[in-house]
Amino acid sequence: DAGVIQSPRHEVTEMGQEVTLRCKPISGHNSLFWYRQTMMRGLELLIYFNNNVPIDDSGMPEDRFSAKMPNASFSTLKIQPSEPRDSAVYFCASSLDSQGAETQYFGPGTRLLVL
Amino acid sequence: AQSVTQLDSQVPVFEEAPVELRCNYSSSVSVYLFWYVQYPNQGLQLLLKYLSGSTLVKGINGFEAEFNKSQTSFHLRKPSVHISDTAEYFCAVSPQSYSSASKIIFGSGTRLSIRP
């Protein structure tokens, strides 16, 4: 299996622009997680989906952030408009539900820099 | 609710020395416990996890962890570290759930640096 695939791997954009991050989970996995990692705040869970349905989006910073999962093999995280404080590494992870015992498989991350 | 505390943000160790990374958790329900490792410029990957049974869990790359319920701890150990173990290590907990959807709570991470 190719593992969790994220694109792009690096993104540099200017403040105010729209940014779209993409994730393809491991085939057969039914939970998908979006995380953000910064030096200041560490690893933060933004949102997670189960069977394509958003379960908990309490970690989404504000209305500028939105996430979708239109089908089992694709998810997007969108930031509109982007701000310099959104600069971070964004990880997508997927898992196969096992009542809390599941292992999460992380993608390589998207390194976002907002100028 | 659950929480995880990693007491050391950084641990410097000489090569071939033993190391222990500390992790304490709190929870009002039973939990599963995990250690993940993040090598530079990569995503996290599972080192080991405790689900049930023996409190001593062995993982990849020679790491092991011991679950101590009375002290609510899950410390990670390795008897002899290698330069390649340089990474950030995350302790995590997940509530034992009867529903299909659950999320994992990560600690703040411990950066392990190995000196030659």
B77–A contact, CB cutoff 8 A: no
What are the chain B neighbours of A101 within 8 Å (beta carbons)? Answer: 32, 49, 51, 94, 96
What percentage of chain A carries pLDDT values higher than 90?
84
Closest CA to A20 of A72, A95, A70, A94: A70
Q: Per-residue pLDDT tens for A41-53?
A: 999 999 999 999 9
What are the chain B neighbours of A51 within 8 Å (beta carbons)? Answer: 100
CA dihedral of residues B21, B26, B31, B37 (deg, nearest 10)? -30
What percentage of chain A carries pLDDT values higher than 70?
99
**Taking CB atoms and an 8 Å limit, are B103 and A4 in contact across chains?**
no
- Kind of pairing between the strands at B10-14 and B110-115: parallel
pLDDT greater at residue B88 or residue B96: B88
**Taking CB atoms and an 8 Å limit, are A43 and B90 in contact across chains?**
yes
**A30, A55, A109: residue with CB nearest B43:** A109
- Cα(B98)–Cα(A29) distance, rounded to whole angstroms? 18
Q: Per-residue pLDDT tens for B4-63?
A: 999 999 999 999 999 999 999 998 888 899 999 999 999 999 999 999 888 999 999 999
DSSP per-residue letters across A18-87? -EEEEEEPPTT--EEEEEEEETTTEEEEEEEEETTEEEE-TT--STTEEEEEEETTEEEEEESS--GGG-
Tokens of A57: 């989006």
**Taking CB atoms and an 8 Å limit, are A99 and B102 in contact across chains?**
yes
**Taking CB atoms and an 8 Å limit, are A42 and B108 in contact across chains?**
yes
**Taking CB atoms and an 8 Å limit, are B44 and A4 in contact across chains?**
no
- Kind of pairing between the strands at A105-106 and A65-71: unpaired
Q: How much is the mean pLDDT over chain A?
A: 94
A96–B contact, CB cutoff 8 A: no
Closest CA to B2 of B88, B53, B74: B74
